[in-house]
Amino acid sequence: MSTIVLLSGGLDSTVLLAASVNAGDDPIALTIDYGQKSRTEIRCAANVTRALSVPHRTIGIMGPVFGPDPHPLLASTPTAFPITAAEADLPGRNALLVVMAAAHLGSGGGTILIGSTNADGFPDSTPESFRLLSKALSTPERPVSVRAPLCEFATREEIADYGQSISAPLQLTSSCWDWDSRRCGGCGSCVDRTQALSGLVGYSASTPNGMSRSQRCRQGLEHLALKARAKLSYFGKR
């Protein structure tokens, strides 16, 4: 069966994709353009998939999907940045992403991996919500499993540490909510990303891509055997 990883271009989904590749899932990365304000994330998703040699598909949704109320994450809403994490809750977004991914699984069904974490705090980001989506999208002939493996980590710092240990291309990611900013540094997502990466060996906030070339070369050698490698078990046999 197929494995689809929903890839935004941000830290969490990039770690998830690298872990899926490392586990031998042979995944397809799927990026959904639902009208989000951040265009940089979409470009970063393409860079991540090239670095990991993973097939990548980007789907654009024509016309407005969310509404009628304006939302600061959508391109249709003028917004003064930065915004807080509480303002970033876009009701139904994760459910929409999962349904779009399910439509791309094909007739045989398969697994959808989404990079939701315990830190998200959104109603449609919980393991229970994904269990219910799995049930709703499955038939006996076409089983669909929606999973959020990163929920096994307690903090985003642990996710970043794990990502570095499996040589995920963290330096290529952007989680900024701003329109076309590589990283505004002030929105809730930028703050979370910086905090998560600040404790990593070789990471420098002053380096545009987070790490120098020599630091990235050392990364795999220094971290390959770190504690987080054992976490790969949650991608195990299905």
Domain ranges of the chain: 2-231
Residue 230: HSE in the Cβ half-sphere, 13 Å Cα cutoff: 4
Residue 177 has what pLDDT?
65
Residue 160 has what pLDDT?
93
Residue 168 has what pLDDT?
96
Distance CA 176, CA 182 (A): 7
Tokens of 183: 């990283």
Distance CA 118, CA 164 (A): 19
Which residues are CB-contacts of 24 (< 8 A; sequence separation ≥ 6)?
none
Length of the chain: 238
Residue 136 has what pLDDT?
96
Hey, which CATH number is domain 2-231, 3.40.50.620, 3.30.450.20, 1.25.40.10, 3.40.630.30? Answer: 3.40.50.620
pLDDT in tens, the chain (238 residues): 799 999 999 999 999 999 999 999 999 999 998 877 667 888 999 999 999 999 999 998 765 665 555 455 555 555 554 555 556 566 788 888 999 999 999 888 999 999 998 877 777 788 899 999 999 999 999 999 999 999 999 888 999 999 999 999 999 998 776 655 555 666 767 778 888 888 886 765 444 444 444 444 444 444 333 334 434 444 443 3
Residue 224 has what pLDDT?
38
Distance CA 3, CA 105 (A): 8
Task: Note whether 144 and 102 are within 8 A (CB).
Answer: yes
DSSP state of 4: E
- Whole-angstrom CA distances from 67 to 61, 79, 82 are 14, 16, 22
- Whole-angstrom CA distances from 234 to 231, 237, 238 are 6, 9, 10
Task: Note whether 3 and 110 are within 8 A (CB).
Answer: yes
Sign, CA dihedral 171-162-2-114, equals: negative
Distance CA 150, CA 234 (A): 9
User: Hey, is 114 helix, strand or coil?
Assistant: coil
Tokens of 168: 């995920």
Residue 111 has what pLDDT?
98
User: Hey, is 142 helix, strand or coil?
Assistant: strand
Task: Note whether 96 and 107 are within 8 A (CB).
Answer: no
H/E element holding 3? strand 2-6
- Whole-angstrom CA distances from 81 to 38, 77, 163 are 12, 12, 28
| pTM passes above 0.75 | yes
Distance CA 205, CA 215 (A): 13
H/E element holding 113? strand 110-113
